[in-house]
Amino acid sequence: MLKRPGKDEYAPYYEQYISKVTDEEYEVFLDRQRDEILALFGEIDEEKARYRYAPGKWSLKEVLGHITDTERVMSYRMLRISRGDSTLLPGFDQDVFVANTSFDELSIEDLLNDFKAVRQATLTLRRTIADSAWSRQANVSTFDITARGLAYVIAGHAEHHLTIVKERYL
């Protein structure tokens, strides 16, 4: 079982995400969350999927694409750190990522399939990480984080956006 990271394993900024992860087994949490995302977004029609709750905010399709992109980035970081690569990892600008996509042109089904593939890759990557590797730490942008911290950021970040979708979009 993957234990929750200590506060010394990530920057304070990430507490907003990590605190959203329940104490259930990590893979069970990711599986349940995947199913919730698939069910929630799967009920949204194409017109509603382009909805923005305010000017300048992302559409529902862009939110889903952002969740997927962020999981890709965080999983890559988790891979590098867990494998002992302590090379400085750059940050990424989520707004630039979303601005340079075609999320709104893709079907919600295509975006859900992409999310499913990335989540499956995260789960299979998690199984290849040795217990001793979860505490490995490296610098990402301007802060140190462990592989375990990144695993919990992945789960908590998606949970954060699920809450926003339920409160502001639906």
The answer on pLDDT for 45 being more than 90 is yes
- Helical H runs in 83-146? 94-99, 108-127
Closest alpha carbon to 2 in 29, 28, 26, 18: 26
List pLDDT tens digits, range 130-170. 999 999 999 999 999 999 999 999 999 999 999 999 999 99
> What was the pLDDT predicted at 1?
85
Pair of tokens at residue 45: 């029609």
pTM of the model: 0.97
